[in-house]
Amino acid sequence: MTIFFAFSPKTQPSWRSTCPVVFSSASLSNISSNTSRSRSHPSPFPTLQPFSAQTLNDPLGFNAQRFKTNDPYKSGLTQFLELLKHASHFASEAEAMAFLDKSGIEVNGDTILLAIWELREDWKLAFLALKWGEKLGCCDEEACSLMVWVLGSHRKFSTAWCLIRDLHRALMDTRRAMLIMIERYASVNDPCKAIKTFQMMDKFRLTPDQEAFHTLLNALCKYGNIEEAEEFMLVNKKLFPLETEGFNIILNGWCNISVDVFEAKRVWREMSKCCITPDATSYSHLISCLSKVGKLFDSLRFYDQMKKRGFVPGLKVYNSLIYVLTCENCFNEALKMLGNLKQMGLQPDSTTYNSMICPLCESKKLEEARQC
Protein backbone atom coordinates (compact mmCIF):
# COMPACT_ATOMS: atom_id res chain seq x y z
CA MET A 1 0.00 0.00 0.00
CA THR A 2 1.19 3.51 -0.77
CA ILE A 3 0.18 6.75 0.87
CA PHE A 4 1.30 10.04 -0.62
CA PHE A 5 1.50 13.43 1.03
CA ALA A 6 2.72 16.73 -0.24
CA PHE A 7 3.88 19.44 2.12
CA SER A 8 4.78 23.02 1.62
CA PRO A 9 8.06 23.75 3.40
CA LYS A 10 7.10 25.74 6.47
CA THR A 11 8.90 26.08 9.72
CA GLN A 12 5.83 26.29 11.93
CA PRO A 13 4.64 23.01 13.47
CA SER A 14 1.73 22.56 11.06
CA TRP A 15 1.43 20.91 7.70
CA ARG A 16 -1.12 20.34 5.01
CA SER A 17 -1.42 17.51 2.55
CA THR A 18 -2.44 18.50 -0.94
CA CYS A 19 -2.56 14.95 -2.27
CA PRO A 20 -5.19 12.42 -1.25
CA VAL A 21 -4.48 9.25 0.60
CA VAL A 22 -4.20 6.38 -1.89
CA PHE A 23 -5.63 3.20 -0.41
CA SER A 24 -5.40 -0.35 -1.62
CA SER A 25 -8.43 -2.61 -1.83
CA ALA A 26 -7.82 -3.81 1.71
CA SER A 27 -7.82 -0.37 3.29
CA LEU A 28 -10.16 2.35 4.46
CA SER A 29 -13.11 1.93 2.13
CA ASN A 30 -12.42 -1.29 0.25
CA ILE A 31 -12.51 0.69 -2.97
CA SER A 32 -13.08 -1.34 -6.10
CA SER A 33 -13.27 -0.43 -9.76
CA ASN A 34 -17.00 -0.04 -9.31
CA THR A 35 -18.78 2.94 -7.87
CA SER A 36 -19.32 3.50 -4.19
CA ARG A 37 -20.75 0.75 -2.09
CA SER A 38 -24.05 0.95 -0.27
CA ARG A 39 -23.97 2.62 3.11
CA SER A 40 -25.74 -0.36 4.59
CA HIS A 41 -22.60 -2.39 3.94
CA PRO A 42 -20.89 -3.34 7.21
CA SER A 43 -18.03 -1.09 8.24
CA PRO A 44 -14.54 -2.57 7.90
CA PHE A 45 -13.71 -1.15 11.30
CA PRO A 46 -14.43 -2.71 14.68
CA THR A 47 -16.85 -1.04 17.03
CA LEU A 48 -15.22 1.85 18.85
CA GLN A 49 -14.45 1.28 22.49
CA PRO A 50 -15.38 4.03 24.95
CA PHE A 51 -12.62 6.37 26.00
CA SER A 52 -10.55 5.10 28.88
CA ALA A 53 -8.09 6.73 31.23
CA GLN A 54 -5.27 4.56 29.91
CA THR A 55 -2.29 6.59 28.79
CA LEU A 56 0.61 5.84 26.53
CA ASN A 57 3.26 4.20 28.67
CA ASP A 58 6.18 4.70 26.37
CA PRO A 59 9.77 5.88 26.99
CA LEU A 60 9.92 7.99 23.84
CA GLY A 61 8.94 11.34 25.25
CA PHE A 62 5.19 11.57 24.83
CA ASN A 63 3.47 14.03 27.14
CA ALA A 64 1.27 11.76 29.24
CA GLN A 65 -0.89 14.67 30.42
CA ARG A 66 -2.14 15.21 26.87
CA PHE A 67 -3.57 11.69 26.86
CA LYS A 68 -5.87 12.45 29.77
CA THR A 69 -9.20 14.24 29.84
CA ASN A 70 -11.54 14.55 32.79
CA ASP A 71 -14.61 14.71 30.59
CA PRO A 72 -14.38 13.15 27.11
CA TYR A 73 -17.88 14.43 26.32
CA LYS A 74 -17.04 18.02 27.18
CA SER A 75 -13.77 17.87 25.24
CA GLY A 76 -15.63 16.69 22.14
CA LEU A 77 -13.66 13.47 21.97
CA THR A 78 -16.64 11.13 22.25
CA GLN A 79 -18.56 12.98 19.53
CA PHE A 80 -15.49 13.03 17.29
CA LEU A 81 -14.94 9.29 17.69
CA GLU A 82 -18.57 8.61 16.81
CA LEU A 83 -18.32 10.80 13.71
CA LEU A 84 -15.17 8.96 12.64
CA LYS A 85 -17.02 5.69 13.11
CA HIS A 86 -19.82 6.86 10.82
CA ALA A 87 -17.35 8.33 8.32
CA SER A 88 -15.74 4.91 7.90
CA HIS A 89 -18.90 3.71 6.11
CA PHE A 90 -18.29 5.97 3.12
CA ALA A 91 -16.80 4.62 -0.07
CA SER A 92 -13.93 7.07 -0.37
CA GLU A 93 -11.76 9.33 1.69
CA ALA A 94 -13.24 12.39 -0.04
CA GLU A 95 -16.75 11.42 1.04
CA ALA A 96 -15.59 10.72 4.57
CA MET A 97 -13.85 14.09 4.80
CA ALA A 98 -16.90 15.86 3.37
CA PHE A 99 -19.09 14.19 5.99
CA LEU A 100 -16.79 15.36 8.77
CA ASP A 101 -16.72 18.83 7.26
CA LYS A 102 -20.52 19.06 7.20
CA SER A 103 -20.75 17.89 10.80
CA GLY A 104 -19.39 21.23 11.96
CA ILE A 105 -17.46 19.64 14.81
CA GLU A 106 -14.62 21.71 16.20
CA VAL A 107 -11.55 19.87 17.46
CA ASN A 108 -8.14 20.96 18.65
CA GLY A 109 -4.74 19.32 18.65
CA ASP A 110 -5.35 17.54 21.95
CA THR A 111 -8.57 15.99 20.65
CA ILE A 112 -6.79 14.73 17.53
CA LEU A 113 -4.03 13.24 19.67
CA LEU A 114 -6.53 11.55 21.99
CA ALA A 115 -8.49 10.20 19.04
CA ILE A 116 -5.40 8.65 17.46
CA TRP A 117 -4.50 7.04 20.79
CA GLU A 118 -8.02 5.76 21.40
CA LEU A 119 -8.09 4.32 17.86
CA ARG A 120 -4.64 2.78 18.11
CA GLU A 121 -6.04 -0.72 17.49
CA ASP A 122 -7.40 0.41 14.10
CA TRP A 123 -4.65 2.23 12.22
CA LYS A 124 -6.85 3.15 9.25
CA LEU A 125 -9.41 4.94 11.36
CA ALA A 126 -6.63 6.59 13.39
CA PHE A 127 -5.13 7.79 10.12
CA LEU A 128 -8.47 9.32 9.12
CA ALA A 129 -8.41 11.26 12.40
CA LEU A 130 -4.92 12.49 11.56
CA LYS A 131 -6.04 13.55 8.07
CA TRP A 132 -8.95 15.49 9.51
CA GLY A 133 -6.67 17.21 11.99
CA GLU A 134 -4.30 18.04 9.15
CA LYS A 135 -7.14 19.64 7.21
CA LEU A 136 -8.03 21.79 10.21
CA GLY A 137 -4.39 22.71 10.74
CA CYS A 138 -4.28 21.37 14.29
CA CYS A 139 -1.92 18.42 13.88
CA ASP A 140 1.39 18.86 15.64
CA GLU A 141 4.59 16.84 15.77
CA GLU A 142 3.37 14.79 18.73
CA ALA A 143 0.23 13.65 16.89
CA CYS A 144 2.28 12.69 13.84
CA SER A 145 4.78 10.81 15.98
CA LEU A 146 1.97 8.95 17.69
CA MET A 147 0.61 8.01 14.28
CA VAL A 148 4.03 6.63 13.39
CA TRP A 149 3.87 4.55 16.59
CA VAL A 150 0.42 3.23 15.64
CA LEU A 151 1.55 2.38 12.11
CA GLY A 152 4.67 0.64 13.40
CA SER A 153 2.58 -1.33 15.88
CA HIS A 154 0.58 -2.66 12.93
CA ARG A 155 3.75 -3.29 10.90
CA LYS A 156 2.78 -0.62 8.38
CA PHE A 157 6.36 0.58 8.15
CA SER A 158 6.19 1.76 4.54
CA THR A 159 3.30 4.03 5.41
CA ALA A 160 5.14 5.28 8.49
CA TRP A 161 8.21 6.11 6.39
CA CYS A 162 6.03 8.09 3.97
CA LEU A 163 4.75 10.15 6.87
CA ILE A 164 8.25 10.71 8.27
CA ARG A 165 9.62 11.82 4.90
CA ASP A 166 6.81 14.30 4.49
CA LEU A 167 7.32 15.65 7.99
CA HIS A 168 10.97 16.10 7.09
CA ARG A 169 10.06 18.01 3.92
CA ALA A 170 7.81 20.25 6.00
CA LEU A 171 10.79 21.06 8.23
CA MET A 172 9.15 19.47 11.25
CA ASP A 173 11.21 17.65 13.87
CA THR A 174 11.37 13.94 13.03
CA ARG A 175 13.66 12.86 15.86
CA ARG A 176 10.99 11.27 18.02
CA ALA A 177 9.41 9.60 14.98
CA MET A 178 12.77 8.04 14.09
CA LEU A 179 13.30 6.78 17.63
CA ILE A 180 9.81 5.30 17.52
CA MET A 181 10.67 3.49 14.30
CA ILE A 182 13.77 2.04 15.96
CA GLU A 183 11.68 0.79 18.88
CA ARG A 184 8.91 -0.59 16.65
CA TYR A 185 11.36 -2.48 14.41
CA ALA A 186 12.90 -4.02 17.51
CA SER A 187 9.44 -4.97 18.78
CA VAL A 188 8.81 -7.09 15.66
CA ASN A 189 12.20 -8.81 16.00
CA ASP A 190 13.88 -6.96 13.15
CA PRO A 191 17.13 -5.73 14.75
CA CYS A 192 18.78 -5.10 11.39
CA LYS A 193 16.19 -2.51 10.37
CA ALA A 194 16.26 -0.98 13.84
CA ILE A 195 20.02 -0.49 13.51
CA LYS A 196 19.68 0.76 9.94
CA THR A 197 17.12 3.33 11.06
CA PHE A 198 19.58 4.61 13.66
CA GLN A 199 22.26 4.87 10.99
CA MET A 200 19.87 6.80 8.71
CA MET A 201 19.20 9.57 11.21
CA ASP A 202 21.72 11.93 9.64
CA LYS A 203 19.78 11.80 6.36
CA PHE A 204 16.96 13.54 8.19
CA ARG A 205 19.25 16.24 9.58
CA LEU A 206 19.36 14.45 12.92
CA THR A 207 22.39 13.63 15.03
CA PRO A 208 22.65 9.98 16.09
CA ASP A 209 23.79 11.03 19.56
CA GLN A 210 24.27 9.04 22.73
CA GLU A 211 20.61 9.36 23.72
CA ALA A 212 19.54 7.83 20.41
CA PHE A 213 22.27 5.21 20.80
CA HIS A 214 20.93 4.20 24.20
CA THR A 215 17.39 4.15 22.81
CA LEU A 216 18.54 1.65 20.21
CA LEU A 217 20.34 -0.53 22.77
CA ASN A 218 17.34 -0.45 25.10
CA ALA A 219 14.92 -1.37 22.33
CA LEU A 220 17.06 -4.27 21.12
CA CYS A 221 17.47 -5.65 24.64
CA LYS A 222 13.83 -5.14 25.58
CA TYR A 223 12.70 -7.45 22.80
CA GLY A 224 15.38 -10.09 23.27
CA ASN A 225 18.02 -9.04 20.74
CA ILE A 226 20.65 -8.67 23.43
CA GLU A 227 23.53 -10.18 21.47
CA GLU A 228 22.94 -7.72 18.62
CA ALA A 229 22.81 -4.83 21.08
CA GLU A 230 26.06 -5.84 22.76
CA GLU A 231 27.83 -6.37 19.46
CA PHE A 232 26.66 -3.00 18.15
CA MET A 233 27.84 -1.28 21.33
CA LEU A 234 31.31 -2.83 21.10
CA VAL A 235 31.69 -2.27 17.35
CA ASN A 236 30.85 1.42 17.75
CA LYS A 237 33.04 2.13 20.77
CA LYS A 238 35.07 4.69 18.81
CA LEU A 239 31.97 6.77 18.07
CA PHE A 240 30.32 6.04 21.41
CA PRO A 241 32.98 5.32 24.04
CA LEU A 242 32.15 2.48 26.38
CA GLU A 243 30.62 3.68 29.64
CA THR A 244 28.63 2.36 32.58
CA GLU A 245 25.19 3.31 31.29
CA GLY A 246 25.65 1.42 28.04
CA PHE A 247 26.87 -1.68 29.85
CA ASN A 248 23.95 -1.40 32.27
CA ILE A 249 21.55 -1.61 29.35
CA ILE A 250 23.21 -4.82 28.17
CA LEU A 251 23.40 -6.14 31.71
CA ASN A 252 19.71 -5.46 32.20
CA GLY A 253 18.99 -7.44 29.05
CA TRP A 254 20.85 -10.52 30.23
CA CYS A 255 19.72 -10.18 33.87
CA ASN A 256 16.06 -9.22 33.60
CA ILE A 257 14.96 -9.98 30.04
CA SER A 258 16.83 -13.19 29.28
CA VAL A 259 17.72 -14.09 32.91
CA ASP A 260 20.96 -15.71 31.75
CA VAL A 261 23.33 -15.68 34.71
CA PHE A 262 26.24 -17.02 32.65
CA GLU A 263 26.02 -14.13 30.18
CA ALA A 264 25.39 -11.64 32.98
CA LYS A 265 28.61 -12.66 34.75
CA ARG A 266 30.48 -12.54 31.44
CA VAL A 267 29.34 -8.95 30.85
CA TRP A 268 30.35 -8.10 34.43
CA ARG A 269 33.85 -9.40 33.72
CA GLU A 270 33.89 -7.52 30.41
CA MET A 271 33.16 -4.31 32.28
CA SER A 272 36.21 -4.91 34.45
CA LYS A 273 38.39 -5.64 31.40
CA CYS A 274 37.25 -2.38 29.81
CA CYS A 275 37.92 -0.47 33.05
CA ILE A 276 34.24 0.38 33.42
CA THR A 277 33.21 0.82 37.06
CA PRO A 278 29.82 -0.66 37.96
CA ASP A 279 27.35 1.59 39.73
CA ALA A 280 24.32 0.93 41.94
CA THR A 281 22.21 0.09 38.89
CA SER A 282 24.77 -2.48 37.75
CA TYR A 283 24.64 -4.23 41.12
CA SER A 284 20.87 -4.08 41.19
CA HIS A 285 20.62 -5.84 37.81
CA LEU A 286 23.12 -8.55 38.73
CA ILE A 287 21.63 -9.26 42.16
CA SER A 288 18.20 -9.49 40.55
CA CYS A 289 19.46 -12.10 38.10
CA LEU A 290 21.29 -14.12 40.73
CA SER A 291 18.25 -14.19 42.99
CA LYS A 292 15.96 -15.36 40.19
CA VAL A 293 18.10 -18.43 39.57
CA GLY A 294 18.51 -19.24 43.27
CA LYS A 295 22.13 -18.13 43.71
CA LEU A 296 21.84 -17.17 47.37
CA PHE A 297 25.55 -17.00 48.19
CA ASP A 298 26.41 -14.91 45.13
CA SER A 299 23.45 -12.60 45.73
CA LEU A 300 24.58 -11.86 49.28
CA ARG A 301 28.21 -11.53 48.19
CA PHE A 302 27.42 -8.84 45.62
CA TYR A 303 25.08 -7.16 48.11
CA ASP A 304 27.95 -6.88 50.60
CA GLN A 305 30.31 -5.72 47.85
CA MET A 306 27.80 -3.10 46.78
CA LYS A 307 27.63 -1.63 50.28
CA LYS A 308 31.42 -1.71 50.71
CA ARG A 309 31.75 0.39 47.56
CA GLY A 310 29.48 3.01 49.07
CA PHE A 311 26.33 2.30 47.08
CA VAL A 312 22.99 2.39 48.87
CA PRO A 313 20.82 -0.62 47.94
CA GLY A 314 17.38 0.29 46.69
CA LEU A 315 14.07 -1.47 47.12
CA LYS A 316 14.66 -3.63 44.04
CA VAL A 317 17.81 -5.10 45.63
CA TYR A 318 16.04 -5.86 48.90
CA ASN A 319 13.11 -7.44 47.07
CA SER A 320 15.53 -9.69 45.20
CA LEU A 321 17.29 -10.75 48.38
CA ILE A 322 14.02 -11.38 50.21
CA TYR A 323 12.92 -13.57 47.32
CA VAL A 324 16.05 -15.71 47.16
CA LEU A 325 16.22 -16.06 50.96
CA THR A 326 12.62 -17.27 51.06
CA CYS A 327 13.20 -19.65 48.15
CA GLU A 328 16.21 -21.14 49.90
CA ASN A 329 14.31 -21.85 53.14
CA CYS A 330 15.72 -18.85 54.99
CA PHE A 331 12.41 -17.25 55.91
CA ASN A 332 13.63 -15.77 59.20
CA GLU A 333 16.53 -14.13 57.39
CA ALA A 334 14.08 -12.81 54.79
CA LEU A 335 12.07 -11.20 57.59
CA LYS A 336 15.27 -9.63 58.93
CA MET A 337 16.00 -8.27 55.46
CA LEU A 338 12.49 -6.81 55.45
CA GLY A 339 13.33 -5.09 58.73
CA ASN A 340 16.58 -3.78 57.26
CA LEU A 341 14.88 -2.11 54.34
CA LYS A 342 12.40 -0.42 56.70
CA GLN A 343 15.31 0.84 58.80
CA MET A 344 16.79 2.30 55.62
CA GLY A 345 13.65 4.39 55.22
CA LEU A 346 12.28 2.32 52.35
CA GLN A 347 8.63 1.35 52.12
CA PRO A 348 7.82 -2.27 51.21
CA ASP A 349 5.57 -2.61 48.18
CA SER A 350 3.44 -5.43 46.80
CA THR A 351 6.52 -6.94 45.14
CA THR A 352 8.24 -7.12 48.53
CA TYR A 353 5.48 -9.20 50.09
CA ASN A 354 4.90 -11.28 46.97
CA SER A 355 8.62 -12.13 47.05
CA MET A 356 7.88 -14.01 50.27
CA ILE A 357 4.31 -15.17 49.75
CA CYS A 358 4.77 -16.79 46.33
CA PRO A 359 7.76 -19.02 47.25
CA LEU A 360 6.09 -19.98 50.53
CA CYS A 361 2.87 -20.96 48.79
CA GLU A 362 4.80 -22.97 46.21
CA SER A 363 6.46 -24.82 49.10
CA LYS A 364 3.02 -25.31 50.71
CA LYS A 365 4.11 -23.26 53.74
CA LEU A 366 0.77 -21.54 54.04
CA GLU A 367 1.09 -20.64 57.72
CA GLU A 368 4.28 -18.66 57.09
CA ALA A 369 2.69 -17.04 54.04
CA ARG A 370 -0.17 -15.77 56.20
CA GLN A 371 2.36 -14.05 58.48
CA CYS A 372 3.61 -11.81 55.67
Q: What is the pLDDT of residues 116-144, one digit of tens each?
A: 999 999 999 999 999 999 988 888 899 99
Task: Answer yes or no: are the C-beta atoms of 116 and 130 closer than 8 Å.
Answer: yes
SS3 287: helix
Task: Identify the pLDDT of residue 89.
Answer: 87
> Is 75 contained in some domain?
yes
Residues 269, 284: Cα–Cα separation, whole Å: 16
Give me the sign of the Cα torsion angle 134, 137, 141, 142: negative
> Is 333 contained in some domain?
no
- Please give the C-alpha separations between residue 283 and each of 221, 250, 333, in angstroms, as whole numbers: 18, 13, 21
> Is 90 contained in some domain?
yes
Task: Identify the pLDDT of residue 41.
Answer: 36
pTM of the model: 0.81
Q: Which residues in the chain land under pLDDT 50?
A: 1-14, 17-57, 59
Task: Identify the pLDDT of residue 46.
Answer: 39
Task: Answer yes or no: are the C-beta atoms of 178 and 204 closer than 8 Å.
Answer: yes
Task: Identify the pLDDT of residue 72.
Answer: 60
Q: Is 86 exposed, middle or buried (0-12, 13-18, 19+ CB in 10 A)?
A: middle
> Is 230 contained in some domain?
no
Q: Is 314 exposed, middle or buried (0-12, 13-18, 19+ CB in 10 A)?
A: middle
Residues 30, 46: Cα–Cα separation, whole Å: 15
Task: Identify the pLDDT of residue 266.
Answer: 98
Residues 160, 166: Cα–Cα separation, whole Å: 10
> Is 164 contained in some domain?
yes
Task: Identify the pLDDT of residue 297.
Answer: 97
> Is 261 contained in some domain?
no
Task: Identify the pLDDT of residue 67.
Answer: 67
> Is 185 contained in some domain?
no
Residues 135, 133: Cα–Cα separation, whole Å: 5
Q: Is 25 exposed, middle or buried (0-12, 13-18, 19+ CB in 10 A)?
A: exposed
* Structural domain boundaries enclosing 162: 1-23+58-173
Residues 18, 31: Cα–Cα separation, whole Å: 21
Task: Identify the pLDDT of residue 369.
Answer: 77
> Is 227 contained in some domain?
no
Residues 359, 67: Cα–Cα separation, whole Å: 39
- Region of residue 30 (left: phi > 0; alpha: psi -120 to 50; beta: else): left
List the alpha helices (DSSP H) in 206-260.
210-222, 226-235, 244-252
**Structural domains of the chain, count:** 1
